[in-house]
Amino acid sequence: MTKTELHIHSTFSDGGYNPAEIINKAAATGIQILSFTDHDAIGAYDAALRHAEANHITLIPGIELNTDGEDGELHILGYFFDPHHRKMFEYTLWRKQERTIWTKKINTLLNQLGYLITFEGVRQHVPGEIIVRTHIAEALAKEKYFTTAREAYEELLIKGKPAFVERAAFSAKDAIALIHDCGGEAYLAHPGTYSSPVPIDNLISYGIDGIEVYHSKHSEEDIHHWLAYAKKHELLVSGGSDYHGTEARNSVAIGSVQLDEQSKQHWMKRVDQL
């Protein structure tokens, strides 16, 4: 039976391990198909490709696009796109630059609130090129403003909290179009985890290809609901652990979330075409 891991983060975004370390862990657990889905970053694919081949693991180009706009804050997963496509390169470069500006705005706001951290201090917690809010939270915890980074994140950095800052506009519709323009498939990530109803009809009208039915934070009820929905609307099905590392907020094991065998057939067929 083919074992997959289709949602995993490395040090190219907010993961705790670099691509080679993840490949080693995946090989030890029998993973045969893997996709790095770093937030707004694709560097792990090229960094891990040779090491994956040496360990008999097939890599699928992947990304998790953070979006906001009229459909709310949603994450869109992309797979099977050309990782060297000009539009994907331009997007990841823009997002890297935008996240730096965004982080500095958050840092200024935190300083005004009395949390005296610096941008350089935040950068010390960023192993790759993409800055995310957990890196800011780690800087706050290091300076002893909070006991843990998770506490800092939830008290200050999520929507509705004092230091939350909107990112530059990039909608779910934009994300789906980008993935398609680069030859890939677009999936709604972890639909059972959002705090408000998912505007799935809108996503279907934008051409979304599938839904991440299987996820480490999904309940059996979530899985049943979204699997039935995908079948009814003839959408593809994805799934993965969303592994960020052993000390991360989501610390489930690599490969612990698997697709049902029928859904997995699509992925095996696409892999054969790579």
Residues forming CATH 1.10.150 domain(s) in the chain:
91-157
pLDDT score for 135: 94
Cβ–Cβ under 8 Å, residues 119 and 107: yes
DSSP letters spanning 199-230 = -HHHHHHHT--EEEEEETT--HHHHHHHHHHH
Nearest to 218 by CA among 240, 196, 235, 249: 240
Cβ–Cβ under 8 Å, residues 245 and 17: yes
CATH node for 4-83+169-272: 3.20.20.140
H/E stretch holding 185: strand 185-188
pLDDT score for 128: 79
Cut 0.75: pTM above it: yes
Q: What is the Cα–Cα distance from 223 to 166, expressed in whole angstroms?
A: 30
Residues forming CATH 3.20.20.140 domain(s) in the chain:
4-83+169-272
Tens-level pLDDT at each residue, the chain (274 residues): 899 999 999 999 999 899 999 999 999 999 999 999 999 999 999 999 999 999 999 999 999 999 999 999 999 999 999 999 999 999 999 999 999 999 999 999 999 999 999 999 999 999 877 899 999 999 999 999 999 999 999 999 998 999 999 888 899 999 999 999 999 999 999 999 999 999 999 999 999 999 999 999 999 999 999 999 999 999 999 999 999 987 666 669 999 999 999 999 999 999 999 8
Q: Which of 1.10.150, 1.10.1740, 3.30.1490, 1.20.120 is the CATH number of 91-157?
A: 1.10.150
Q: What is the Cα–Cα distance from 137 to 151, expressed in whole angstroms?
A: 8
